[in-house]
Amino acid sequence: MIKAGIVGGTGYTGVELLRLLAQHPEVELTAITSRKEAGMPVADMFPSLRGRVSLTFSSPEDAALKACDVVFFATPNGVAMQQTRELLDAGVKVIDLAADFRIQDIAEWSKWYGMEHACPDLVAEAVYGLPEINRERIRGARLIANPGCYPTAVQLGFLPLVEAGVIDTSWMVADCKSGVSGAGRKAEVSTLFAEASDTFKAYAVPGHRHWPEIRQGLARMADAEVGLTFVPHLTPLIRGIHATLYARLTKDVDLQALFEARYQGEYFVDVLPAKSHPETRSVRASNHCRIAVHRPQGGDTVVVLSVIDNLVKGAAGQAVQNMNLLFGLTENLGLTQIPISP
Amino acid sequence: MIKAGIVGGTGYTGVELLRLLAQHPEVELTAITSRKEAGMPVADMFPSLRGRVSLTFSSPEDAALKACDVVFFATPNGVAMQQTRELLDAGVKVIDLAADFRIQDIAEWSKWYGMEHACPDLVAEAVYGLPEINRERIRGARLIANPGCYPTAVQLGFLPLVEAGVIDTSWMVADCKSGVSGAGRKAEVSTLFAEASDTFKAYAVPGHRHWPEIRQGLARMADAEVGLTFVPHLTPLIRGIHATLYARLTKDVDLQALFEARYQGEYFVDVLPAKSHPETRSVRASNHCRIAVHRPQGGDTVVVLSVIDNLVKGAAGQAVQNMNLLFGLTENLGLTQIPISP
Amino acid sequence: MIKAGIVGGTGYTGVELLRLLAQHPEVELTAITSRKEAGMPVADMFPSLRGRVSLTFSSPEDAALKACDVVFFATPNGVAMQQTRELLDAGVKVIDLAADFRIQDIAEWSKWYGMEHACPDLVAEAVYGLPEINRERIRGARLIANPGCYPTAVQLGFLPLVEAGVIDTSWMVADCKSGVSGAGRKAEVSTLFAEASDTFKAYAVPGHRHWPEIRQGLARMADAEVGLTFVPHLTPLIRGIHATLYARLTKDVDLQALFEARYQGEYFVDVLPAKSHPETRSVRASNHCRIAVHRPQGGDTVVVLSVIDNLVKGAAGQAVQNMNLLFGLTENLGLTQIPISP
Amino acid sequence: MIKAGIVGGTGYTGVELLRLLAQHPEVELTAITSRKEAGMPVADMFPSLRGRVSLTFSSPEDAALKACDVVFFATPNGVAMQQTRELLDAGVKVIDLAADFRIQDIAEWSKWYGMEHACPDLVAEAVYGLPEINRERIRGARLIANPGCYPTAVQLGFLPLVEAGVIDTSWMVADCKSGVSGAGRKAEVSTLFAEASDTFKAYAVPGHRHWPEIRQGLARMADAEVGLTFVPHLTPLIRGIHATLYARLTKDVDLQALFEARYQGEYFVDVLPAKSHPETRSVRASNHCRIAVHRPQGGDTVVVLSVIDNLVKGAAGQAVQNMNLLFGLTENLGLTQIPISP
């Protein structure tokens, strides 16, 4: 059994990790920390876990994290980079669900995240945990930078097109819509029910932290700089990201065949039949990404529709998928639950 | 492996049965019928099942239902009673998720359901499938009348009080709230998103079909006639029933201890600590019922709060629980998934 | 033109007051205070008011409240009682939308609100602003205690029954459901979209501050002590309260006629035809209360369904209705907008 | 007083027209037709109109439409074109809220709407009712083609850019999100609450009927053919359209100044300050369009955010605005209600 610890377990990615790990046949939940809630049984905060998770939140100092085989950071940005080296030195594998190790360009990271980086050398070592691109490197890693939710949906949607070199990568558009759980479990007026329901809005159009992460990923695929406009929107649903992607085709290609070939054998990426429109609830509470590709009116524009559950494939589920790879387990172990619909 | 068939699989209880049975380690899904959709792969209608359910809808005539070990009816009222005898004669066990076998008083049933009953003798044989009350009788049955959603939440909430004889059973109130999936997957104006969201209303106050079913259940517990007012409400959420129950105490009793004792050892009934308020999402997509009991201001009124997922403990999950009992399996087999929250 | 000021205009009742007063033909909005937002144009916080409200938030010290004809307090409990005397002395009429002047029993008030009262003599003077009961006293008042949202829906629903003496007032049940805006515009985890949507729960079953207020009102109608069980629930909708009321009939009476007679001529109270089920959206954004009365199965239980918009008839609209009475205007002036549906 | 009739008043645009016209100071509602509901009081179907609209639905044959000054068609496509000539001949002005007169190219119209056109000559006469573009022509018209909801939001968003010639009009993207009321008040499974809530999806990516309408509008502004990709999405909210528009800048220009200048003096178009993100609820139940314009990272992409209420500025409100122009009234008469928020 793999001994797993969670640092910062009171947010939505934390409770989702708990849900998945508590049902994982090869994992033993060993420790979960929360300075603020130390001493409280986890199931008192999250009644959905009653009878299934008997852990109590402990303060970070008291938690026996070094005795774990793997530690997940479900913390705000800037926390994991302070504690990762010590854990790695103790032989613990680390999966960071925040952004500390996602951006290789340290200056760029500091600009977007507004702080100095504590360990640039570990950024260089970290592997970006998108298994559909980086599977082999993940298997051999000690430190995983778990991708952001928008970056997962957008990269998986653009990947076949960019790899195949069939679009103009200098001007791509990612119009993305996220459920409100993506904003986290923080007390804020803007995400109150009475503020965020029965309404729709864009946010962060001048610039969002996932923009450099997506650009980095697309640039790696293209092996060249890319031009990307990224607009996120807040949508009145709990879980789910829908990315609508636009690009100009530079070659005539069978798009459907291209996508099916690229994702053949990928358990978690499902290419829908031509003319389909995936909806977010078709992946709710599951680690799947469903994708459809369109060429409206037979013109030179390709439109890709890509949906994930932001808390699963966009966070906790992908982290467990990475853990499975790190420890040589079947990649989908503990991640085969059918999506919840309706 | 138990061979299972589903008659009428295009509604919400049908797709929920599919979700649960497809993940059940001892079940092989053998047939699913829909006259209207015959020939269509199930996963084309329900994309959440892509890659997990390879069945195609077949017409009732073509389906090899008699070769099944168990057949679930997820049909409108009045269908199961036409087909059950033939299946029972062929040695197939039958679980009806509709109301055909729930009411023992045939005249009462006809009055509320507006039709003659096709097989009163089978009603007499049928066992009411609420395992927390009828477990032993279920184990030996051939034919299960799976309870309604409201009746499940209300009976489990009142059960300890009525059995213990501590309330005035001549005047009980069940104020119930249901998610919109309870209305089924039928094209109707009243349950359109634009009609049923951002609003709240009662319905069927003059009389609802679940009223005689609940009264029958409470009368059995009390071994006497009971007085019940039942008001259902439509609530803008997908899954979930919240029953708020009121009765007058006739004896001084430790209510918390009473409930905990009654449900000790019941895997699917969770009595919350004193002063708690269960919410429907704490059981979403799971077979649990969570209950809290209150005595406001120390007066003579007891208030019980009881929540279930109407599609699981209120329908498909309870049906699987009954199937497990019918076939001597562990009662919670295939039903241990943790609720989805948020 | 009546010069109106608002103290504490950044919450939902505040912005709703702004919406109504800005459209009122006899009102000039003169001042609005918020210590925290002083200097910010109101329409920057509430874009729905752009082009319609040109006021800027001012600090309480700078606001020329004494030059107003009427001041509305849309503040937390305990604020109005500190400032009311000075305003009354300056000849300003005061309408408090909080609870400072609602409960005549000072000790009871202190128990539920957890503070000493600053001016018990003004409580004695204050008139409870439910016009359908207190119209004449309101006309001559200086200080109005605007009722709570639940108390408005519950009292209007029980009123005809209690006044007519046809129910057992020793055991009444008010099962109430409120939209999330009732919790206010405060940053709290429990009312986040991801917490409060797609779920349903009761709260404050052991005791809620509106219980003594409702009891006081019912006792006045009955001219005797009453027994009331009150259970509020949080419902995933923005605006709306639905009260489902239960009582035991002690006399045989034509309930429909009783209700229609009591509310004949009341512009804002609409008694629906027999067998109706009012829904909250039928009063959304309006000052109406719609009521239906039922006697299920012809038994001895009366069920009343009463719906209001908690921000209008339950708060800001009723306050404007009271203002109209205070200043001798037509009672529904500025309050005749048709509800928004869907 | 203008005598107004409505043909087909049982859908969402119909009831919204009723709400607006019943409150319009210069309109007398004279007739409303519905073959199916003939004889039913309008307020029985729409309780929000109780006490405010006393009309009864009449069958089309019996309705005295020719005695009206103006008739609104809130009917399915293809109905208005059958009845318009007779009304025009009788001196009645006609405003069609459906699509019968929107597309000047008759062949194109037939292709998208799947029927022959009954009166191409009237299409040629009809004026496209977008007042911010066509105000003078509308004033003198007999027949108004009221724009579609998406076309209104998209055209108002692109208008300043296209008129000024500062973008590449050969490749524009309109990513649009609509509330579910846009699908109408028809009994359909796909827009049930349990299907359309807590989920998000695109639809009609291969082709949507509003695409030729938007293209026609943009081509008129540009005086040239344009290239447009249009993707609509279904969003779990009742009212509201959010258009996110993308184009490549071909000239350096002060975008904020450009938009403010173009819409100066337009009562219903509100250009927000730089860096803003309008949300749909800021225009809920009002005839406003709010727009923000961005140039992310200072690059060559312009992003426009444009929001309207699809039932008001996208349908009934714009129809009333057109009626005001047709009859020489103040353009915003009866349309000045403040949006409902929250």
Cβ neighbours for D217, distance < 8 A, ≥ 6 positions apart: D128, D130, D133, D147, D151, D155
Nearest CA in chain C to A199: C238
Say which DSSP state B249 is in. B
Q: What is the mean pLDDT of residues B226-243?
A: 98
pLDDT tens-place string over residues B273-315: 999 999 999 999 999 999 999 999 999 999 999 999 999 999 9
Considering only CB atoms, which chain B residues are within 8 Å of D194? 12, 179-181, 183, 185, 191, 238
Residues in D 247-276 with any Cβ partner in A closer than 8 A: 248, 275
Which amino acid is present at C5?
G
pLDDT tens-place string over residues D123-171: 999 999 999 999 999 999 999 999 999 999 999 999 999 999 999 999 9
pLDDT of B61 reads: 83
Picking from D185, D189, D198, the nearest residue to B194 by CB comes out as: D185
Considering only CB atoms, which chain D residues are within 8 Å of B238? 193-194, 197-198
User: Is B149 one of the annotated active-site residues of the chain?
Assistant: yes
Q: Is D140 exposed, middle or buried (0-12, 13-18, 19+ CB in 10 A)?
A: exposed
| Bridge partners (DSSP) listed for residue D307 | D242, D290
Q: Is A123 exposed, middle or buried (0-12, 13-18, 19+ CB in 10 A)?
A: buried
Q: How many CB atoms lie within 10 A of CB C139?
A: 16
The CATH homologous superfamily for domain A150-310 is: Dihydrodipicolinate Reductase; domain 2 (3.30.360.10)
Order the strands of the D70-73 sheet from edge to edge: D27-33, D2-7, D70-73, D93-96, D143-145, D127-128
| Partner C contacted by D59 (CB < 8 A) | no
**Phi first, then psi: what are they for C223, rounded to 5°?**
55, 40
Considering only CB atoms, which chain C residues are within 8 Å of D289? none
Q: Is the model's pLDDT at B59 over the cut of 80?
A: yes
Order the strands of the B27-33 sheet from edge to edge: B27-33, B2-7, B70-73, B93-96, B143-145, B127-128
Q: Would you please indicate which residues of C are annotated as catalytic (active-site) residues?
A: 149
- DSSP, collapsed to helix, strand or coil, labels residue D261 as helix
From 3.30.830.10, 3.30.360.10, 1.20.1600.10, 3.40.630.30, which CATH number describes the B150-309 domain? 3.30.360.10
pLDDT tens-place string over residues A72-100: 999 999 999 999 999 999 999 999 999 99
CA A307 to CA A311: how far, in whole Å?
A: 12
Query: Element (H or E) spanning D319, and its range?
Result: helix D317-326
Say which DSSP state A313 is in. I
| Partner A contacted by D114 (CB < 8 A) | no
CA C79 to CA C93: how far, in whole Å?
A: 16
| Partner C contacted by B231 (CB < 8 A) | yes
Q: Are B26 and B61 in contact (CB under 8 A)?
A: no
pLDDT tens-place string over residues A264-306: 999 999 999 999 999 999 999 999 999 999 999 999 999 999 9
CA A105 to CA A107: how far, in whole Å?
A: 6
Residue A63: band (very low, low, confident or very high) from pLDDT cuts 50, 70, 90: confident
pLDDT of B62 reads: 79
Q: Is the model's pLDDT at D61 over the cut of 90?
A: no
Beta-carbon separation of D205 and A229 below 8 A:
no
Considering only CB atoms, which chain C residues are within 8 Å of D337? 23, 337
Q: How many CB atoms lie within 10 A of CB C167?
A: 26
Range list of H helices, chain A: 12-22, 42-45, 80-89, 106-113, 120-125, 131-139, 149-164, 193-196, 210-222, 255-263, 317-326
Nearest C-alpha neighbor of C71 from the set C39, C29, C34, C37? C29
| Partner A contacted by D299 (CB < 8 A) | yes
Q: Is the model's pLDDT at C63 over the cut of 80?
A: no
Q: Are C40 and C57 in contact (CB under 8 A)?
A: yes
Picking from B193, B198, B236, the nearest residue to D192 by CB comes out as: B193
**Do the strands B269-271 and B289-294 form a parallel or antiparallel pair, or are they unpaired?**
parallel
CA distance A179 to chain D (A): 8
pLDDT tens-place string over residues A3-53: 999 999 899 999 999 999 999 999 999 999 998 999 999 999 999 999 999
Q: Are A133 and A214 in contact (CB under 8 A)?
A: no
Cα→Cα distances C47→D158, D236, D258, D276, Å: 22, 22, 21, 10
| Bridge partners (DSSP) listed for residue B336 | none
Q: What is the mean pLDDT of residues B242-271?
A: 98
| Partner A contacted by D294 (CB < 8 A) | yes
Beta-carbon separation of B236 and D194 below 8 A:
no
Q: pTM for this structure?
A: 0.97
Residue A153: band (very low, low, confident or very high) from pLDDT cuts 50, 70, 90: very high
CA C244 to CA B202: how far, in whole Å?
A: 8
Q: Round the average pLDDT of chain C to a whole number and report it.
A: 97
* DSSP characters over B15-67: HHHHHHHHT-TTEEEEEEE-TTTTTSBHHHH-GGGTTT---B-B-TTTS-GGG
Can you give the residue ranges of every domain in chain B?
2-125, 150-309
The CATH homologous superfamily for domain D2-125 is: NAD(P)-binding Rossmann-like Domain (3.40.50.720)
Considering only CB atoms, which chain B residues are within 8 Å of A290? 47, 50
Considering only CB atoms, which chain C residues are within 8 Å of D342? 12, 15, 181, 185, 238-239
Query: How many CB pairs (< 8 A) connect A and D?
Result: 148
Q: Angle at Cα B329 formed by Cα B326 and Cα B332, nearest 5°?
A: 100
| Partner A contacted by B198 (CB < 8 A) | yes
Q: Is C251 exposed, middle or buried (0-12, 13-18, 19+ CB in 10 A)?
A: exposed
| Interface pTM, i.e. ipTM | 0.97
Q: Is the model's pLDDT at B63 over the cut of 90?
A: no
CA D140 to CA C296: how far, in whole Å?
A: 59
| Partner A contacted by D277 (CB < 8 A) | yes
Q: Are A149 and A205 in contact (CB under 8 A)?
A: no
Beta-carbon separation of D206 and A301 below 8 A:
no
CA A18 to CA A37: how far, in whole Å?
A: 16
Considering only CB atoms, which chain B residues are within 8 Å of D198? 238
CA distance A300 to chain B (A): 29
pLDDT of D216 reads: 98
Picking from C46, C50, C197, the nearest residue to D270 by CB comes out as: C50
Q: Is the model's pLDDT at D63 over the cut of 80?
A: no
Beta-carbon separation of A48 and B15 below 8 A:
no
Q: Which two tokens stand for residue C122?
A: 């003004």
pLDDT tens-place string over residues B129-147: 999 999 999 999 999 999 9
pLDDT of A131 reads: 98
Query: C149-164 vs C255-263: helix axis angle to the nearest 10?
Result: 120
Q: Is the model's pLDDT at A61 over the cut of 90?
A: no
Q: Which two tokens stand for residue B311?
A: 């599609």
Nearest CA in chain B to A16: B341
Q: Round the average pLDDT of chain B to a whole number and report it.
A: 97
pLDDT tens-place string over residues D90-121: 999 999 999 999 999 999 999 999 999 999 99
Picking from A23, A272, A282, the nearest residue to B48 by CB comes out as: A282
CA distance A208 to chain B (A): 25
Beta-carbon separation of C229 and B296 below 8 A:
yes
Q: Is the model's pLDDT at C141 over the cut of 90?
A: yes
pLDDT tens-place string over residues A189-242: 999 999 999 999 999 999 999 999 999 999 999 999 999 999 999 999 999 999
pLDDT of B60 reads: 84
Beta-carbon separation of C189 and A193 below 8 A:
no
pLDDT of B40 reads: 96
**Do the strands C70-73 and C93-96 form a parallel or antiparallel pair, or are they unpaired?**
parallel
CA D149 to CA D314: how far, in whole Å?
A: 4
Query: How far does Cα D270 stand from its chain's mean position?
Result: 17
Q: Are D158 and D221 in contact (CB under 8 A)?
A: yes
Beta-carbon separation of C189 and A186 below 8 A:
yes
Range list of H helices, B130-235: 131-139, 149-164, 193-196, 210-222
